Each structure stands twice: as C-alpha cells, then as structure tokens.
C-alpha cells in the first residue's frame, strides 16, 4: 500500500489488516484499495503489474475491466466491421441499379470514417468505446442518407428528367428527410456529451 501510494496520480492506497486480509486455498491475500486520477489509471495499472510481477496477484475494479473490454473491442470490432460491410454490400448489390453505386457508397463512408478519426486527434483522449464503434456508426449513418438521395434520384430519372436535373430535384426532395434524420442523430449524439 505504501509503495502504491507513492506512484504518480494515486490519491490514496488503503489497506486495513482486519478487513483486507483473506485466507483462500491455503494462501494469505491482502487487498489494497486504490483511488487515482483518471489520467493516471493506465500508467498506474502498468506500474503495479510490473512491480508485483513476481508475486501472485489479482487486479480488479474499473480500470482492469476497462482494459479487458478495450482489448476485447480491439479484437472484435474489425470482424464486426468486415461482417457489416459484407452484409451492406450484398444489400446494395441487390437494391441498386448499378455496380458503381455500392463503390460510391463505400467511398463516401470511408471518407466519413477517416474524417471522423482525423478530428479525434484534437482531443487529448477519447473513450475507447467511442473509438471502437465509430466506424460502425459512420457506416450506418452515412449509408441511410446516401440511399435516400439515390432513391430520390432514381425516381426523378424515372419521370424522364435529364441526369443533372434529376440530381437537382433529388437533392431538393431528399433535403427534408435527410435533415430530419440527421437532427435526430445529432440530438442523440449530443446527449453523449453530457456523459461523465
């Protein structure tokens, strides 16, 4: 407890012998309760793991759970993204009139993902959950707006309009549905800004 209390960012390290000592399976376990600043959590975790590497020890609590979840998300999200892209591609190939349209959709989505990841660099850190699911969210959000626009464009072409006129009409026709959908998304995302 004294050693942990000396690590940078630790606010307190408490050990009460009568409460925090447990006999389990022939071994004596001592529990040290640690409070640290959020910024130092990862450094503290790594310092404790390195310092006590030779001893049998268990780390538990929010920091440990976040690290396990983070590692799990890093491993799982690429597979989830790949499966999502395959499903979306199949749906687009069945639902669109041209093989070029799915390529355009994915180019737009890739641009949105890269732009979103790029703007995250202005922050000192972001939630690992946000980082992990950002690509899937972008896939879902960018896709429905593109589909609304292309459907309006196809309807205008079906009415006999030239391509440029059809796109102009499609932009005007899809403005309200896309704006309404975007506003609900923005409201939902804005609520996340008040998370602690």
3-state secondary structure the chain: CHHHHCCCCEEEEECCCCCCEEEECCEEEECCEEEECHHHHHHHHHHHHHHCCCCCCCCCCHHHHHHHHHHHHHHHHHHHHHHHHHHHHHHHHHHCCCCHHHHHHHHHHHHHHHHHHHHHHHCCCCCHHHHHHHHHHHHHHHHHHHHHHHHHHHHHHHCCCCHHHHHHHHHHHHHHHHHHHHHHHHHHHHHHCCCC
In the prediction, which pLDDT does 38 show? Answer: 67
As a whole number, mean pLDDT of residues 32-41 equals: 76
How would residue 161 be classed by pLDDT, with cut points 50, 70 and 90? very high
How would residue 196 be classed by pLDDT, with cut points 50, 70 and 90? low
- More confident: 99 or 131: 99
């Amino acid at each position: 407890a004294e050693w942990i209390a000396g690590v940078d960012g630790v606010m307190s390290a408490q050990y009460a012998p009568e409460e925090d000592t447990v006999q389990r399976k022939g071994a004596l376990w001592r529990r040290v309760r640690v409070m640290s600043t959020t910024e130092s959590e990862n450094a503290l975790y790594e310092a404790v793991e390195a310092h006590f590497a030779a001893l049998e020890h268990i780390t538990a609590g929010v920091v440990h759970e976040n690290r396990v979840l983070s590692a799990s998300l890093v491993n799982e999200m690429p597979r989830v993204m790949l499966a999502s892209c395959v499903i979306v591609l199949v749906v687009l190939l069945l639902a669109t009139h041209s093989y070029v349209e799915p390529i355009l959709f994915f180019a737009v989505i890739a641009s949105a993902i890269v732009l979103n990841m790029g703007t995250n660099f202005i922050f000192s850190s972001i939630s690992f959950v946000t980082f992990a699911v950002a690509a899937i969210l972008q896939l879902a959000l960018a896709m429905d707006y593109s589909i609304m626009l292309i459907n309006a464009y196809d309807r205008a072409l079906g009415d006999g309009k030239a391509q440029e006129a059809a796109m102009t009409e499609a932009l005007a026709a899809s403005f309200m549905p896309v704006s309404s959908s975007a506003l609900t998304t923005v409201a939902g995302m804005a609520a996340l800004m008040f998370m602690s």
